[in-house]
Amino acid sequence: MEKQIYKNRKIVLLTKHKKEEAIRPVIEKATGCSLIVESRFDTDKFGTFSRDITRTKSQLETARLKIKEGMLLSGLDIGIASEGSFGSHPFIPAPWNIELVLLFDQRENFELYGIHESGETNFAQLATASFDEAVSFAKKIGFPEHFFIIRPDDSESEQIIKGINNYDWLKEAFVWCGLNSHSGKVFMETDLRAHANPTRMHNIKKATEDLISKLHSFCPNCMAPGFIVSERVKGLPCDLCGLPSDLVLKNISKCRKCSHVLEQLYPNGQFAAAQYCHFCNP
Ligand SMILES: [Zn+2]
Ligand SMILES: [Zn+2]
C-alpha cells in the first residue's frame, strides 16, 4: 500500500502541451492528490526547443518559474512542473534527452525533483530539397504520431510551421518552404513539445516515476518524505594497494525536517578495483 501523502491536496501543473497525460496517472496514484492543470500561461515565454525563444535560465530554474506561475494563477500551495532538454550525449555522438520533473510544496517549504536521462529520443534535423528524402526522414522519426516543425533554408529561419501531423500538410508546408527558401532547401526537425512527441512524453513519465521513488523514501526518525542521499563521500580503498580511490566510500542522507542523519558505508562494495586507483592505474 502506497502512502497517500498528498491525499486531499490539489497540485497545480502549468502546461499547454498536455503534460498531464504523463504526470497525472503517476502522481495521483502514488500520492492521492488531484492534479489541477493550469494552461492560462504561455510557457513558451520561458524558451522553446525550436529556438524562436531562447531559454535564458537553467532547466531547474525554468521549472521553478513554471511552478511559481502555476501557483499564482491557481492559488494553490503546491505545484509540479516539467522541463526538458535535448542535445548530444556527453561522451558519444548520439542524441540525448534529459527530463526533469520538479515538485514544490510551499506549506512545507520542500522541493524535490525527479530526473530521467535517455538516448531514447527522435531528436533529429534534416535540410533537404527533395520531398522523397523528407518522406523517408518522416518514416524514420515516427511521423505522424511524432510531429514536425519545418521552415525554409536552415535552423535559424524565422518563418516556422509547427505541429505538422499529417502527410498532406507536410507536402503543402514543404512546397511552401521550398518556394520561400533562398537555398532551395527546407529545414525539418522533430517537434519536441510533449503533446507532439510520444517518445518525450514517455520520458517525462519516467522522470515523474523517479520523483515518486524519491518522495517515497521516508526519514526513519520522523517519516518526512524525500529522505534521499544528499552527499556522496569518495575514497573507497583500492583492493590492491588500499589507498583511497574516487569511488564512493559512503552515502549520507540528512532529513530536511528533523536533521536526522543516516550514513551508509560501502553502498557499492568494500573495495575499488585497481583500474579505478590513481596509484595502481594512473
Ligand atoms: Zn526526519
Ligand atoms: Zn591501488
Residue 223 lies in a domain: no
Q: Indicate whether 282 pLDDT > 90.
A: no
Quote the domain boundaries for residue 174. 125-191
164 and 38 in a common domain? no
Q: Is residue 4 part of a domain?
A: no
- 100 shares its domain with 206: yes
Q: Is pLDDT at 2 greater than 80 in this prediction?
A: no
Could you tell me if 144 and 242 lie in one domain?
Answer: no
Does residue 73 share a domain with residue 211?
A: yes
- Reduce the DSSP state of residue 92 to 3 states and report it: coil
Q: Give the integer Cα–Cα distance in Å for 95 and 197.
A: 15
Long-range contacts of 117-120 (CB under 8 A, 24+ apart): 118/203, 118/206, 119/89, 119/94, 119/95, 120/199, 120/202, 120/203
Clarify whether residues 72 and 208 are in a common domain. yes
Do 19 and 110 belong together in one domain? yes
The whole-model pTM stands at 0.91
CA of 223 to the centre of ligand 1 (A): 6
Residues with Cβ < 8 Å from 275, sequence gap 6 or more? Answer: 281
pLDDT at 52: 86
Q: Per the domain annotation, does 99 fall within a domain?
A: yes
Q: What is the pLDDT of residue 281?
A: 85
Query: Which ligand lies nearest to the CA atom of residue 227 in the structure?
Result: 1
- Per-residue pLDDT for 131 more than 50? yes
In CATH, what number is assigned to the domain containing residue 54?
A: 3.90.950.10
- Same domain assignment for residues 99 and 168: no
Q: Are residues 87 and 211 in the same domain?
A: yes
Q: Tell whether 153 and 167 lie within a shared domain.
A: yes
Residue 144 lies in a domain: yes
**Which tens digits make up the pLDDT trace of 13-34?**
999 999 999 999 999 999 999 9
User: Which residues lie near ion ligand 2 (Cβ < 5 Å)?
Assistant: 238, 240-241, 277, 279-280
Closest ligand relative to 254 C-alpha = 1
**60 in a structural domain:** yes
Q: What is the per-residue pLDDT for 17?
A: 95
- pLDDT of amino acid 159: 94
- Which CATH number belongs to the domain containing residue 181 in this structure? 3.30.1490
Identify whether residues 37 and 168 lie together within a single domain: no
DSSP one-letter code for 91? S
* pLDDT at residue 1 is higher than 50: no
Span 54-83, average pLDDT:
96
| Arithmetic mean of pLDDT, 27-47 | 94
CA distance 149 to 83: 19
Residue 127, pLDDT score: 97
How many angstroms separate the alpha carbon of residue 114 from the centre of ligand 1?
Answer: 20
Same domain, 268 and 148: no
Judged by its nearest atom, the ligand closest to the C-alpha of residue 238 is 2
Cα–ligand 2 centroid distance for 90 (angstroms): 28
How many domains is the chain partitioned into structurally?
Answer: 3
At residue 211, the 3 state secondary structure works out as: helix
Over residues 101-114, the pLDDT tens digits come to 999 999 999 999 99
Whether 83 maps to a domain, the answer reads yes
Is residue 92 located within the same domain as residue 210? yes
**CA 193/CA 83 separation, integer angstroms:** 10
In the predicted structure, residue 252 carries a pLDDT above the cut 50: yes
Residue 184, by phi and psi: left (phi above 0), alpha (psi -120 to 50) or beta?
A: left
Lowest mean pLDDT among 49-63, 187-201, 227-241: 49-63
Mean pLDDT of 199-219: 97
Helix (H) / strand (E) element for 125: namely strand 125-128
In a domain? residue 49: yes
- Does 282 reside within a domain? no
